[in-house]
């Protein structure tokens, strides 16, 4: 029996309902689903209708998305996100009956959930740049009984002005910037949820209008398929040691890349910070703290098929945070401590100023451990590009094409931003 047959026979069946309810109950038990309305929507909409040809076990994996389109190189272009991711975003959005909602990035299933949340008095619009994806979403929504959803084929960089303003805008693709159209089309008192890439790190942030800018109300780290069209952004890459090591920079490279040739062949310097973290505690705030504190912040990725051990990321990871300064390079790692469930942050560095650079990074890890570990994470503010410095809030300033982003860090004792938990999805 093919997966398609299995899926088709199971639609609306006891097994499909059973698995759907198990996913919802698991998400409630872990605290991802906290509201009765999100619970009801996720219990009602058959997820399998939007991924025909996929086995029910795969459809209803709590933490895995289902890829629905790939490019010629096998990279994901579209997916139905993991149930945990969708539930989290719906809770973060706090959607109520009668709202007008714009979803950027179509798949069909999430739009159906949104339609349940807004009810007959509300309106859901979903937009995608890919004609295949938009046509597929339109067809599957109609077949599932949600033909009232507006499916629009367009580059979402301009939003969808014909149905604006929106009480909620949910972006389900990784965005490097926030286009002005999204801000203009957000209703007064509205909320924008966007997986925003900042210095190579992505987190889903809920923004609201306040004090002449967009202010974050909560955030959580997820990875999403990147935006296409006018909003596309490419990292800068520096490939070292024949492809074994790749340095990824979100903006302009901080030094002439040629000065790093051979840097990994120099003696390695190790500095251990004394700052610790539990092995199962979320690490995301530490990496984002370094991204905001260090001018030459980047990410380093190891190709495991070529790995000689010159770079040792924490645990079994293949990537970690790093920094480039002059002709020197340093990255963050961990080691076990005498306490079985605790790890210590450390730094490995290479190059002529390796000792100095390693100590600088280690000191920032100590500051994180003292002032921010266990806190709610940073607050983000979005200002229009061109806003003068004296009109920006305090914090690290990240300049993008359309916006200026400020990131500030309350200390752990007073932090109020949303909890930062590391998760992944392919949408």
For the chain, domain boundaries: 3-172, 236-372
List C-alpha distances in Å: 404 to 178, 200, 399: 10, 16, 5
Q: What are 96's two structure tokens?
A: 């109520």
What is the DSSP annotation of 120-149?
Answer: TTSEEEEEES-HHHHHHHHHHHHHTT-TTS
Torsion of CA 255, 350, 275, 381, to 10 degrees: 10
Residue whose tokens read 């926030």: 178
Ramachandran region of residue 237, left (φ > 0), alpha (ψ -120 to 50) or beta? beta
**Alpha helix locations (H) across 178-313?**
180-184, 284-293
CA angle 407, 320, 79 (to 5 degrees): 80
In our burial notation (b when 16+ CB lie closer than 10 A, e otherwise), range 34-53 reads eeebbbebbeebbbbbbbbe
Task: Report the C-alpha gap between 80 and 78 in whole angstroms.
Answer: 7
**Residue 346 contacts by C-beta under 8 Å, 6 or more apart in sequence?**
270, 271, 272, 273, 332, 333, 334, 335, 362
Peptide bond into 165 cis (omega under 30): yes
Cβ 372 vs Cβ 380: under 8 Å: no
Residue 259's pLDDT is what? 80
Using a cut of 0.95, tell me whether the model's pTM lies above it. no
Residue 31 burial by CB count (10 A; 0-12/13-18/19+): exposed, middle or buried? Answer: exposed
**Residue among 192, 235, 234 nearest 210 (CA):** 192
**Alpha helix locations (H) across 303-408?**
354-367
User: Which residues have a catalytic role annotated?
Assistant: 81
Q: Which CATH architecture has domain 3-172?
A: 3-Layer(aba) Sandwich (3.40)
Intervals of the chain under pLDDT 50 = 1-6, 8-12, 413-427
Task: Report the C-alpha gap between 230 and 173 in whole angstroms.
Answer: 13
Cβ 169 vs Cβ 102: under 8 Å: yes
Cβ 225 vs Cβ 173: under 8 Å: yes
């Amino acid at each position: 029996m093919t997966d398609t047959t299995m899926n088709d026979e199971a639609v609306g069946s006891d097994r499909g309902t059973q698995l759907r309810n198990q996913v919802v109950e698991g998400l409630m038990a872990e605290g991802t689903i906290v509201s009765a309305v999100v619970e009801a929507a996720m219990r009602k909409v058959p997820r399998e209708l939007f991924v025909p040809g996929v086995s029910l076990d795969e459809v209803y994996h709590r933490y895995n998305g289902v890829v629905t389109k790939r490019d010629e190189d096998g990279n994901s272009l579209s997916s139905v996100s993991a149930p945990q991711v969708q539930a989290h975003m719906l809770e973060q959005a706090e959607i109520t009956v009668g709202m007008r909602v714009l979803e950027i990035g179509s798949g069909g299933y999430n739009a159906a959930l949104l339609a349940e949340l807004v009810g007959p008095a509300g309106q859901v619009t979903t937009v995608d740049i890919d004609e295949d994806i938009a046509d597929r979403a339109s067809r599957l929504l109609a077949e599932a009984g949600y033909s009232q959803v507006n499916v629009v084929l367009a580059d979402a960089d301009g939003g969808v002005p014909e149905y604006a303003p929106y009480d909620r805008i949910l972006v389900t693709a990784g965005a490097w910037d926030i286009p002005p159209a999204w801000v203009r089309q957000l209703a007064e008192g509205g909320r924008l949820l966007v997986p925003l890439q900042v210095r190579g790190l992505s987190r889903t942030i809920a923004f609201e209008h306040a004090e002449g800018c967009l202010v974050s109300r909560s955030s959580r780290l997820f990875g999403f398929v990147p935006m296409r069209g006018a909003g596309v952004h490419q990292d800068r890459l520096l490939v070292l040691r024949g492809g074994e090591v790749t340095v990824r920079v979100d903006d302009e490279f901080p030094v002439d890349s040629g000065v790093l040739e051979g840097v990994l062949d120099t003696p390695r310097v190790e500095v251990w910070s004394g700052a610790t973290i539990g092995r199962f505690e979320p690490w995301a705030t530490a990496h984002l703290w370094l991204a905001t504190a260090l001018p030459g912040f980047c990410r380093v990725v190891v190709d495991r098929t070529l790995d000689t051990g010159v770079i040792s990321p924490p645990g079994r990871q293949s990537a970690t945070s790093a920094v480039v300064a002059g002709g020197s390079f340093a990255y963050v790692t961990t080691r076990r401590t005498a306490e079985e469930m605790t790890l210590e942050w450390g730094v490995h560095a290479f190059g002529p100023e390796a000792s100095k650079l390693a100590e600088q990074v280690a000191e920032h890890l100590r500051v994180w451990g003292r002032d921010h570990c266990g806190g709610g994470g940073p607050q983000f503010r979005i200002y229009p590009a061109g806003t003068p410095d004296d009109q920006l809030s305090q914090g690290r300033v990240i300049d993008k094409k359309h916006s200026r982003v400020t990131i500030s860090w309350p200390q752990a004792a007073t932090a109020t931003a949303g909890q930062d938990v590391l998760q992944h999805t392919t949408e």
